[in-house]
Amino acid sequence: MEKRMPNKKVVVQRARKGAGLGLFAGVPMKRGDTIINYTGELITTQEADRRGGKYLFILNDDWVIDGKNREHIARYINHGCKPNAEAETDEDAKKIRILARRKIVPGEEITYDYGKEYWDEYIKPHGCKCDACVKR
């Protein structure tokens, strides 16, 4: 499966073995560039606790973005222990931007650190499949 954005900045395609789909750079990016916004339904933390799921991105103590629908392609960014991207939260705008931490070349998979809570619940029980861990 490959899903292209109109500007071809990012591409959804098969990632490494065991990681499913991933988000890949379609164009060169430099440090600080906005790669994509993490989008989805804005829900309360109480609703997020009720729903559960892997695509919940916490904005603050009150709000969460639920990116479970496939049209929200930032959801395809995989975890990386040595990530090339990071999330920047704008609580006032209720928005999450994914920014390049360093130069990213076309074809490179976009990754960010999902954080300790996600790691403990979803990754640790099965082992990390990111490039840094797989190469060890």
**19: Cβ–Cβ under 8 A, 6 or more apart, which residues?**
78, 129, 130
pTM recorded for the entire structure: 0.85
> How many separate domains does the chain show?
1
CATH number of the CATH domain containing 78? 2.170.270.10
Task: Please check the confidence at residue 74 and state whether its pLDDT lies above 90.
Answer: yes
The domain of 94 spans 3-134
pLDDT of amino acid 112: 94
61 vs 131, more confident: 61
Scan for tokens 């490179």, then name that residue. Answer: 108
Percent of the chain topping pLDDT 90: 60
Q: What span, in angstroms and rounded, lies between the C-alpha atoms of 14 and 1?
A: 7
Is 5's pLDDT higher than 50?
Answer: no
Taking the CA atoms of 20, 100, 119 and 129 in sequence, report the sign of the dihedral they define: positive
pLDDT given at position 7: 56
Residues 7-53 pLDDT 10s:
588 989 888 776 689 999 999 999 999 999 999 999 999 999 999 98
**Coil/strand/helix, residue 113:** coil
